[in-house]
Structure 1
Amino acid sequence: MNVKISFVALSISAALIPNATTAEERDMEVITVTASRMDKPVSAIPNTVTIIDQEQLEQQFRTTKDLSTIIGNLAPSFSPSRQKMSNTGETLRGRSPLIMIDGVPQSNPLRSGGRSGQTIDPAMIERIEIIHGANAMHGLGAQGGIINYITKKPTGDNEHQVSLDVTVPNSLDSDGISFGTSYAFSGESDQLDMIGSVSYRNNGVYYDANDQMIGVDTTQGESMDSQSADLFLKLGHDFDESRLELMLNHFNMENNGDYMAIKGDKENGVPTGAIKQNQPWEAANNQVTTTSLTYSHENIAGQQMQLQFFNQNFEAVYGGGCWSDFYDPSLEGSDQVTVCGTGSNGESLYYEQSRNKSVKWGVKASMLANNIAGSGLNLAYGMDIFRDTTQQDMVVSGASWVPQSTYENIAPYAQLDYDLIDNLTLSGGIRYEYARLKVDDYKTLYGYGDKDIQGGSPDFNETLFNLGASYKITPSTRIYTSFNQGFGMPDIGRVLRDGDSFPDLNPSIDDSLALTPVVTDNIEFGADYQGEYFSAKIAYYRSSTDYGTRMVEKEDGSGSFVVKREKSVIEGIESNITAYLGDHDDVGMNLAIQKGRYDSNDDMSVDTDLDGANLSPNRINLFWTHNFDNEISTRLQANFFMDKDFKDASDEIYSTFDGYTTVDASVSIPVYDGTLSVGIQNLLNEDYYTYYSQTVGKDTRYFKGMGRTATIGFTMPF
Structure 2
Amino acid sequence: MKLKLVHFLMASAVGCSSAHAQDAEAGSDAAASTEGENIVVTAARTKLPASALPLTVHVIGSEDLSRQVAVSGTTVAAVSALLPAFSPPREKDNSTGETLRGRSILYTIDGVPQSTPIRDSARDSHTIDPFFIDRVEVIYGSNALQGIGATGGVINQVTVLAPTKDGVSGRALVQGNTGDNFSGASMGGKAGALLSYRTGVFDVTGGAVFERRGVYLDGHDRHIGIDSNRSELQDTDSLSFFGRVGIDLSSNTRLEVIGSRYNLKNNNHYVAIDGNRDEGITATSERGDVEGEPASTLSEMISASLTDKDLGGGTLTLQGFFNRSKDTFSGGTLATYQDTSIAPKNTLFDQSQNRSRKLGGKISYERPVPGISDLNAIVGLDALFDRTAQTLIQTNRTWVPRTTFRSLAPFGQLNWGLFGGVIRLAGGVRYENVQLDVPTYTTLAYYGSNVVYGGKPSFERALWNGGVVFEPVKGIRAYGSYSEGYTIPDVGRILRSISKAGVHVSDYIDLTPVVSNNREIGVEIARGPVKASASYYWSSSKLGEVLERGDDGIYTTSRQPIDIQGLDLNIVTQTPVPGLKVTVGYSHVVGRTDDDGDGKLDEDLDGANISPDRLNLSANYAHGPLAAGIQGRFYLSRTFDGQDEVNNFSGYKLFDAYVSYDFDFGQVGLSVENLTDAYYVTYYSDTQGPTDNARFYSGRGRNFTLRWNYRF
Q: TM-score, normalised by structure 2?
A: 0.93
Q: Which of 148, 168, 171 does residue 140 from structure 1 map onto? A: 148
Match of residue 420 from structure 1: 418
Matched, 1:237 2:238: no
The C-alpha deviation readout for 1:398-450, integer Å capped at 9, x for no partner, is: 11110111001100000000012231000000110001100011122122343
Cα distance per residue 1:541-569 (max 9 Å; x no partner): 111111111111122x2x22111111111
Q: CA deviation at 1:200?
A: 0.4
Q: Which runs of 5+ in 1 are unaligned?
A: 1-16, 334-346
Cα 1:462–1:142 change in 2 (3 A) is same
Aligned to 1:658: 650
Aligned residue for 1:358?
356
- Matched residues in 1 for 2:622 and 2:191: separation? 26
Aligned to 2:12: none
Distance 1:384 1:26 in 2: 26
- Residue number in structure 2 paired with 1:547: 543
Tell me, yes or no, if the aligned pair for 1:647 and 1:655 is still in contact at 8 Å. no
Aligned residue number for residue 519 of structure 1: 515
Other structure's SS at 1:63 match? helix
Out of 560, 563, 579, the residue aligned to residue 569 of structure 1 is 563
* Contact 1:366 1:381 (C-alpha < 8 Å) held by counterparts: yes
Equivalent-residue separation in structure 1 for 2:158 and 2:324 (angstroms): 19
From 106, 110, 113, give the equivalent of 2:114.
106
Distance 1:296 1:22, change over 3 A: closer
Moved more, 266-275 or 462-471: 266-275
Query: What displacement does 1:350 show?
Result: 2.3
The 5-angstrom pairing of residues 381-400 of structure 1 reads 381-400=379-398
Contact 1:18 1:49 (8 Å CA) reproduced: no
CA distance in 1, matches of 2:34, 2:654: 28
How far did residue 22 of structure 1 move? Answer: 6.7
Q: Which amino acid aligns with 1:97?
A: I
Q: How does 1:348-497 map to 2 (within 5 A)?
A: 348-370=346-368, 372-373=370-371, 375-422=373-420, 423-497=422-496
How far apart, CA to CA, are the structure 2 residues paired with 1:28 and 1:550?
43
The within-5 A match list for 1:693-704 is 693-697=685-689, 698-704=692-698
Q: Measure, in 2, the Cα distance between the counterparts of 1:440 and 1:22.
A: 50
User: In the alignment, residue 312 of structure 1 is paired with which amino acid?
Assistant: N
Equivalence for 2:80: 72
What is the deviation of 1:328?
A: 1.0
CA-CA distance at 1:397 after TM superposition: 1.0
647, 650, 663: which one aligns with 1:671: 663
CA drift of 1:182 comes to: 0.6
Query: 1:147, CA displacement in angstroms?
Result: 0.6
Structure 2, unaligned runs of 5 or more: 1-17, 26-32
Report the CA distance between 1:262 and its aligned residue.
0.5
Shift of 1:107: 1.0
Q: Hey, what's the Cα distance between the residues in 2 that align with 1:598 and 1:451?
A: 34
| Aligned-pair CA distance for 1:602 | 2.0
Deviation at 1:374, TM superposition (A): 5.1
Q: Say if 1:324 and 1:349, in contact at 8 Å, map to a contact too.
A: no
Matched residue, 1:3: none
Q: Distance in 1 between matches of 2:36 and 2:354?
A: 41
Q: Would the aligned equivalents of 2:415 and 2:424 in 1 still touch at CA under 8 Å?
A: yes
Give the CA deviation at 1:620: 0.8
Aligned to 2:14: none
The aligned counterpart of 1:62 is 70
Kept in 2, the 8 Å contact 1:436–1:459? The answer is yes
How far residue 704 of structure 1 moved from its aligned partner, in angstroms, is: 0.6
Contact 1:514 1:565 in 2 (8 A): no
Residue aligning to 2:29: none
Q: Distance in 1 between matches of 2:185 and 2:203?
A: 42
State the alpha-carbon separation in 2 of the partners of residues 399 and 675 from structure 1.
52
Equivalent position amino acid for 1:590 in 2: G
Partners of 1:653 and 1:209 lie apart in 2 by 25
CA contact (8 A) 1:197 1:233 kept: yes
Q: Which residue of 2 aligns with 1:331?
A: 342
Contact 1:599/1:607 (<8 A) preserved: yes
CA distance in 2, matches of 1:654, 1:674: 50
2:354, 2:710 → 1: CA distance? Answer: 39
Which residue of the other structure, out of 163, 177, 180, is the alignment partner of 2:173?
163
Q: After the TM superposition, which segments of 4 or more aligned residues of structure 1 sit over 4 Å from their partners?
A: 22-28
- Check if 1:182 corresponds to 2:159: no
Indicate whether 1:125 and 2:137 are aligned: no
Q: Is residue 586 from structure 1 mapped to residue 587 from structure 2 by the alignment?
A: no
Shift of 1:513: 5.0
Q: Does residue 622 of structure 1 match 2:610? A: no
Please show how residues 141-290 of structure 1 align to structure 2 within 5 Å. 141-157=149-165, 158-240=168-250, 241-290=252-301
- 1:144, distance to aligned residue in structure 2 (A): 0.8
TM-score by length of 1: 0.92
Structure 2: distance between partners of 1:197 and 1:667: 26
**In 2, Cα distance between the equivalents of 1:65 and 1:245?**
29
Alignment partner of 1:640 is 2:634: yes
Residues 144-200 of structure 1 show CA distances to partners (whole Å, capped at 9, x for unaligned) of 111100001123242131110111111011110010011001121124112221100
What is the letter of the counterpart of residue 287 of structure 2? Answer: K
Structure 1 vs Structure 2: percent identity of aligned residues? Answer: 33
**Contact 1:34 1:40 (8 Å CA) reproduced:** no
Counterpart of 1:11 in structure 2 is: none
State the Cα RMSD in Å. 1.8
Question: Residue 44 of structure 1 aligns with which residue?
Answer: 52
Aligned counterpart for 2:675 among listed residues 679, 683, 689 = 683
CA distance in structure 2 between the partners assigned to 1:459 and 1:681 by the alignment: 47
User: In the alignment, which residue of structure 2 is the partner of 1:343?
Assistant: none
SS of residue matched to 2:371: helix
In the TM superposition, what is the alpha-carbon distance from 1:654 to its structure 2 partner? 6.1
Displacement of 1:28:
7.8
The corresponding residue for 1:5 is none
Cα shift at 1:104: 0.4
Q: Distance in 1 between matches of 2:700 and 2:645?
A: 28
Cα gap change, 1:415/1:57 in structure 2, threshold over 3 Å: closer, same or farther?
Answer: same
Q: Which amino acid aligns with 1:543?
A: S
